[in-house]
Amino acid sequence: MTDKRAFPTRRAAAERNRDKILAAARTAFAEGDTDISMAGVARRAGVGMATLYRNFPGRQELLEALYAGEVDAICEAAVMEDGQTPGAALTAWLRLHFDFLPNKRLIVSELLEHTGQDGPHSRREQALAAGRPLLAAAQKAREVRDDLTLEQVFDMIVAIAKIHGSPDYLEPIIQTMLNGLRIPAGEYDHGRAGSR
């Protein structure tokens, strides 16, 4: 006769293994080990390869699980705070994408750059959907140029984050990109005059 009490115990053990794998991967990536293999994650977590692949069939699935909470937080941050202009809200949100994790190259190259297997429900699409209202509001307020899509802006962030260099090296590059989203003062005044 099967002992039904064994099933909750197995589920608890499986959850512990999953948590150990995620903790090991999170630590490795936080340390800057972007090239860590699945075998390396298993070693750090103290689990066998079968256990690792039972939880995460591949690297992409591992990263999706690892950063699901972080991407959700980025999406939830796509709001305009009291006293913020639409342009300032958009800029702050885009910077959050760039600064959210210590290892920028990992999140942008393996999450934002790839759409994954689930089409519109991918992490990139989730973030795009959250940010489009911010971009539309900033463009409507004529604080941000209207000839760029959010996909193009994301691609610029991806390209900058792939540049090898320290945070101090990358900071003026990302700031220049963000500044470039603004409509030049003369163009703004011209647009206002033409609308009269």
CATH assignment at residue 142: 1.10.357.10
CA 165 from chain center: how many Å? 19
Co-location of 3 and 88 in the same domain = no
| Overall number of domains in the chain | 2
Co-location of 42 and 94 in the same domain = no
The pLDDT value given to residue 79:
93
Co-location of 79 and 121 in the same domain = yes
- Domain ends where: 57, 82, 105? 57
- Res. 85: pLDDT tops 90: yes
The pLDDT value given to residue 18:
93
Give the model's confidence band at 93: pLDDT under 50 very low, under 70 low, under 90 confident, else very high. Answer: very high
Statement: the pTM of the whole predicted model exceeds 0.75? no
Q: What is the mean pLDDT of residues 68-90?
A: 89
Q: Express each pLDDT in 123-160 by its tens digit.
A: 788 889 999 999 999 999 999 999 999 999 999 988 88
Co-location of 14 and 87 in the same domain = no
Range of the domain at 111: 67-194
The mean pLDDT of the chain is 81
Task: Give the residue from 31, 38, 78 showing the smallest Cα distance to 62.
Answer: 38
Co-location of 135 and 173 in the same domain = yes
Give the model's confidence band at 113: pLDDT under 50 very low, under 70 low, under 90 confident, else very high. Answer: low
Residue 61 and residue 25 in contact, taking contact as beta carbons nearer than 8 Å:
no
- Res. 188: pLDDT tops 60: no
8-state DSSP, 121: G
Q: 179 is written with which tokens?
A: 């500044």
